[in-house]
């Protein structure tokens, strides 16, 4: 198993790799930032060449000016997070399910909670929110405000 410094250098130096940034704030923890158009290529490289085949989760952050999607991957040697910033006005990103099929549940959750369109997702149905959830209402966006439903008491006169 290669050490973390060697792993980072091999990822950085890989032919055709277009990283915005790669860093390691502590032992066995690596962060990689890429442009959305390089996401699939990066995930495939990390899986095929470096053994990052397990998606532990995918999370999102509403940064007001854009959305950041974080793909948390794991291998025997380290935990690695791929960061992708996407346009808030056109929030869409390619599905990584073609590379790592187990990502589908996390991608469906990102769609539900942030309203980010996942292109080519094998099953785009809502996952987390109820079937009657209002359209264009995304609870993890910072501009979301909760409007409680009107309470109805059974048997109450109208």
| Fold annotation for 4-91 | Beta Polymerase; domain 2 (3.30.460)
108 pLDDT more than 70:
yes
With beta carbons less than 8 A apart as the criterion, state whether 14 and 49 touch: yes
The whole-model pTM stands at: 0.88
Domain boundaries, the chain: 4-91
Give just the sign of the alpha carbon dihedral 124, 129, 131, 135: negative
Residue 62: band (very low, low, confident or very high) from pLDDT cuts 50, 70, 90: very high
Give the C-alpha separation, 104 to 110, whole Å.
Answer: 10
């Amino acid at each position: 198993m290669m050490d973390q410094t060697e792993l980072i250098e091999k990822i950085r130096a890989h032919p055709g790799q277009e990283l915005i940034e790669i860093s390691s704030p502590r032992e066995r923890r690596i962060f990689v930032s890429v442009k959305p158009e390089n996401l699939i290529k990066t995930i495939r490289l990390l899986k095929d060449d470096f053994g990052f085949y397990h998606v532990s989760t995918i999370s999102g952050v509403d940064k007001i000016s854009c959305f950041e999607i974080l793909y948390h991957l794991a291998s025997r040697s380290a935990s690695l997070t791929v960061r992708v910033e996407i346009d808030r006005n056109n929030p869409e990103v390619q599905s990584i399910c073609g590379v790592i099929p187990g990502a589908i549940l996390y991608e469906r959750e990102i769609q539900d909670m942030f309203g980010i369109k996942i292109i080519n997702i094998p099953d785009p149905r809502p996952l987390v929110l109820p079937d009657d959830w209002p359209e264009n209402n995304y609870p993890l966006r910072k501009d979301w405000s909760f409007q409680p439903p009107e309470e109805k008491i059974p048997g109450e006169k109208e």
